[in-house]
Structure 1
């Protein structure tokens, strides 16, 4: 789950996608408790808790579709449906995966993939799909990126070591699904300044942004590392929204660099505007994200009563067509068998004893010729 190659598909504006890690002991139980509570409160219309293997076998929309299989390391599949402003329906799937045993950073955890899609273009002010499945509480440790040492809903300080810093930048821009922002602390901030900039963002965008902090003494080393690895500069006391390969159309380093960010608890308007602007740029989907979105669309189980009726009617039509095809095939085989029997009877004279062979000149008009023609009709369905 760590590798992240890109596809040629541009992320649709109707979708919300995220991938992270849960470091707590009972991730699936945390999801169940939250779903149950939100349904009881009327926030969710409904939800499902599915075993991945059984879910793949019983996919409603596209049975036995390759996209309905979340993979052998999947632990659990959850589906939820809710409505947002103006009654727009949102459908979402959360899949949890076994941790990667090869990881040596001490932060294995359970990987989760979340794909949500609305009936129209996504609005950043809608509720975050992450908080529909995970509790919006710091007591549940679900908000970590798949990149080690990087977390959501807070700030992550860049490593002190130069090599580790460059590796962090590479992994965040090549493997993560989130938007990454680096903020340089011109001086050590107080409690208000330590507040994450992402906390000022609207709900649905807040959980798509990872905020990195560079300490005052890291100004030069961080600037050099970003220039070398990503061809961007980090101004002292400012911030930059990091690019994500392949190159996003419309991304210009100067455009997404903010010269001054005052970490005094006030809203950094310019930086927030740059983050919002970057979030709506057309970006190619990571390959794993495209698969997650296809599973959501083609492997959906939580149907409404109306959708169940349409699905049942479609199945009745398919069964009727299959039955008609079987009946037609049976009739064709019966006709061929009757023709063969008639030709055989003509050849044997009806007594089961073959007639004497005839000359080649009379072959076409002989009973043997009739039998050959009959079997020829059997082989050629057009006759």
Structure 2
């Protein structure tokens, strides 16, 4: 799901995102076996197998947030690091979920995969799906979240009209993959029955789901597509289905192919349309947003250089924090000393506050004294109020 865009609501062009179902009984065992084999062959640098509780409650020095939590129903979390094109580091994270928690009643274990490279993703790179899962028909890891649909197969469309419409609607609304409908002009031979997705580059091959309509389904499939998705399909042609909501730049006519020859040869025009569609800015589903956040915020598989660089950063951070605390302590000490000095001055050094003499206190508390001072303010500074008990002089004296 790598896209050429910088908008926050669309899938970054450095990422590969996928969601599917493992239809076998032991998906985690299949992942472990494949990772061990690839590490021994030096295809990958390293991998990590985590319990989801351990992944969510990591106690290492790296910060975590809510986005690092795999969420309810998580069974295992696997992390892998490898190099693409020799010098490009790729980090990928796979989480498996219990089917009950993922609201699927058709069996299988749901998986969510997020991978990110240091630069824009290239279709010729190794598929992240086959890093975690063995690329073997004996391991059924490639089930779509839409029941009855597989990634590595030419999926026959249902004969029933209602079921056909439900499947097309679900594929457009629920899937993270690119869906292509191909109509067979005539019943193909064994070579023509092979999925056309086998001709796609590795990283794109496991992101495309192919649907096949039999020759007699031409009218009903065309009607269902127009009714549900607003696109049609020519007889003997193909169409790349729009996602919901539609990707910016999608045009039904632009992604409709008039003729597809199912004779085992490479359908160049169809493949070019799929690649062109993959380059559109894809809307980022909410769950894909969380998967990408978990990859970035909840990553555990660090290299020694990354650990050393982070340790140095933490030392600098702690030193700065300690220096700030020391400066704060010095300021608090100075403030406390100033407060003690002020208290000593106010108490005369004996710990008790200074008090006025009883006589002075009694004079200050006299009502007559207070009244006299009040009249003195009204009479102005040139007239002095008489002392209590003294008769004022008459004007004639």
- TM-score interval, normalised by the smaller of the two chains: 0.7 to 0.9
Deviation at 1:61, TM superposition (A): 7.8
Deviation at 1:248, TM superposition (A): 1.5
Match of 1:306 in 2: 305
Match of 1:27 in 2: 27
Q: Distance in 1 between matches of 2:109 and 2:269?
A: 36
Greater gyration radius: 2
Deviation at 1:187, TM superposition (A): 2.1
Structure 2: which 5+ residue stretches go unaligned? 1-6, 361-397
1:16–1:116 Cα contact (<8 Å) kept: yes
Per-residue displacement from partner, 1:191-245 (whole Å, max 9, x unpaired)?
Answer: 1111001011111100000001112221111110100111100111111000012
Match of 2:185 in 1: 186
Match of 1:80 in 2: 80
Q: Distance in 1 between matches of 2:104 and 2:140?
A: 19
1:59–1:299 Cα contact (<8 Å) kept: no
Within 5 Å, give how 1:37-76 maps onto structure 2. Answer: 37-58=37-58, 63-76=63-76
SS at match of 2:30: helix
Match of 1:275 in 2: 274
Match of 1:13 in 2: 13
Change (3 A) 1:357 1:270: farther
Match of 2:364 in 1: none
Q: Distance in 2 between matches of 1:8 and 1:213?
A: 35
SS at match of 1:44: coil
Deviation at 1:58, TM superposition (A): 2.2
Deviation at 1:298, TM superposition (A): 2.1
Q: Distance in 2 between matches of 1:60 and 1:306?
A: 16
Change (3 A) 1:189 1:60: farther
Match of 2:318 in 1: 319
TM norm structure 2: 0.84
Change (3 A) 1:59 1:175: farther
Q: Does 1:350 align with 2:349?
A: yes
Q: Distance in 2 between matches of 1:120 and 1:100?
A: 37
1:59–1:300 Cα contact (<8 Å) kept: no
Within 5 Å, give how 1:195-210 maps onto structure 2. Answer: 195-210=194-209
2:16–2:128 Cα contact (<8 Å) kept: yes
Task: Give the 4+ runs in structure 1 shifted more than 6 A.
Answer: none
Within 5 Å, give how 1:237-316 maps onto structure 2. Answer: 237-316=236-315
Deviation at 1:306, TM superposition (A): 1.5
**Paired residues, number:** 354
Deviation at 1:345, TM superposition (A): 2.1
Per-residue displacement from partner, 1:92-143 (whole Å, max 9, x unpaired)?
Answer: 11111111368564x2311111111111111111110000000111111110
SS at match of 1:297: helix
1:115–1:293 Cα contact (<8 Å) kept: yes
1:61–1:298 Cα contact (<8 Å) kept: no
2:73–2:98 Cα contact (<8 Å) kept: yes
TM norm structure 1: 0.87
Higher RCO by CA contacts (8 Å cutoff, separation 6 or greater): 1
Match of 1:363 in 2: none
User: Alpha carbon RMSD of aligned pairs, Å?
Assistant: 2.1
Within 5 Å, give how 1:167-186 maps onto structure 2. Answer: 167-186=166-185
Q: Distance in 1 between matches of 2:195 and 2:165?
A: 22
Change (3 A) 1:102 1:313: closer
Q: Does 1:134 align with 2:133?
A: yes
Change (3 A) 1:61 1:269: farther
Q: Distance in 2 between matches of 1:87 and 1:216?
A: 48
1:59–1:301 Cα contact (<8 Å) kept: no
SS at match of 1:10: coil
Change (3 A) 1:357 1:266: farther
Change (3 A) 1:259 1:357: farther
Match of 1:164 in 2: 163
Per-residue displacement from partner, 1:4-58 (whole Å, max 9, x unpaired)?
Answer: xxx9522111111100011111111111111111000110111111122222232
Match of 1:96 in 2: 96
Structure 1: which 5+ residue stretches go unaligned? 1-6, 360-383
Q: Distance in 1 between matches of 2:61 and 2:249?
A: 37
Match of 2:144 in 1: 145
Match of 1:368 in 2: none
